[in-house]
Structure 1
Amino acid sequence: MKYGSTFLMKLVIIFISLGVLALCCVAFPALAIDVAKTEAAIVKILYPILIGMSLAAIPFFIALFHTWKLLRYIDNGSAFSTLSVIALKKIKYCAFGVAGIYAVTFPFFYSLAQHVDPPGLMGICVFIIGAALVIATFAAVLQRLLQEAIAIKTENDLTV
């Protein structure tokens, strides 16, 4: 395959990672400081949410790293290999991890939504959990299809 066939996807990964990194390093601390100055009652609810969102960034970045590796395998022409299956497996586990972290922090989102904006805040949390589960399901399906394709390819290579 041509080297630049996945260039746009790699560019998207870079921009997404920079955006999430900016959220974790700049926006979350600024929000925590701002809320701590104004609303003392909301601080006890907001801190677990911010900690959960920061913890969810860890499997998110791990999944982006394995997505980058998968795109590199595609560029090198080794997309149908066990390395690709392993990368998809790790992406699947990371997506389940992100969904799990947000599911654990869901009660805090609900409690905060009672004080602020119920539809918007709950919608964001449900959307993130749903998106992570869709990604995990898609990675699981691709992993299974890739394993079967590799098995068929191996069988055909052994056939004389």
Structure 2
Amino acid sequence: MKKRTKLGLKMTIFMIGLTILVLSVFLLPNLARDAAEMNPEFSYLRLPILLGLYITAIPFFLALYQALKLLNYIESENAFSHLAVTSLGNIKTCAFTIITLYIIGLISLFSQNALHPGIALIGFVIIFATIVISLFTAVLQELLKSAIEIKSENDLTI
């Protein structure tokens, strides 16, 4: 992979992380306050929902960190290593954690009769996108395991 491409991927990961961090710190509390003012009957859910969203940010940022580690492995010619397989496994675990947290959140809101269709749609889109990411990561992880196995067999043959 070209150095410019790797730098572009790293910058993209940093920009995604920075965007989510800024939105979480500045926009999310304001949106929660506005939603609580517009729907006072659900204002008691403001802090639990904010807490839940901040908790889901933790595995998201951990997955971004693992993606950066993966790019560093590629840069240092360790793309076909067990470290890369471990990073992919960690990304997959983070994705499953996000899926689980969003499902719990949607069920909780539904049980409180506070699940607005727009919020449900956003939640389902996030869940679906995360499922796609976890499946893609699982496929890459298995391909990488196979490639490492083939590489080690070739190294033993020669």
User: 1:64-118: CA deviations, max 9, x gaps?
Assistant: 000011011112221111110010000000000111110100134543344xxx2
Aligned residues of 2:37 and 2:43 also touching (Cα < 8 A)? no
Query: Which 4+ stretches in 1 moved above 4 angstroms?
Result: none
2:126 to 116, 125, 128: 128
Aligned residues of 1:5 and 1:75 also touching (Cα < 8 A)? no
Aligned partners of 1:82, 1:56: CA distance in 2, in Å? 27
Aligned residues of 2:66 and 2:91 also touching (Cα < 8 A)? yes
User: 1:99-146: CA deviations, max 9, x gaps?
Assistant: 1110100134543344xxx2x322110000111111111111111110
Letter paired with 1:112: A
Identity within the alignment, %: 42
Aligned partners of 1:39, 1:122: CA distance in 2, in Å? 16
Letter paired with 1:5: T
User: Could you tell me the TM-score, scaled by structure 2's length?
Assistant: 0.89
Aligned residues of 1:3 and 1:76 also touching (Cα < 8 A)? no
The reply to whether residue 64 of structure 1 matches residue 76 of structure 2 is no
The runs of 5 or more residues in structure 1 that have no matched partner are none
Aligned residues of 2:106 and 2:115 also touching (Cα < 8 A)? no
Instruction: Note the C-alpha offset of 1:36.
Output: 4.2
Aligned partners of 1:126, 1:64: CA distance in 2, in Å? 21
Letter paired with 1:144: E
Aligned residues of 1:88 and 1:142 also touching (Cα < 8 A)? yes
1:142 to 140, 143, 146: 140
Aligned partners of 2:126, 2:108: CA distance in 1, in Å? 15
Aligned partners of 2:132, 2:37: CA distance in 1, in Å? 38
Letter paired with 1:41: E
The runs of 5 or more residues in structure 2 that have no matched partner are none
| Match of residue 112 from structure 1 | 114
| Match of residue 48 from structure 1 | 48
Aligned residues of 1:89 and 1:140 also touching (Cα < 8 A)? yes
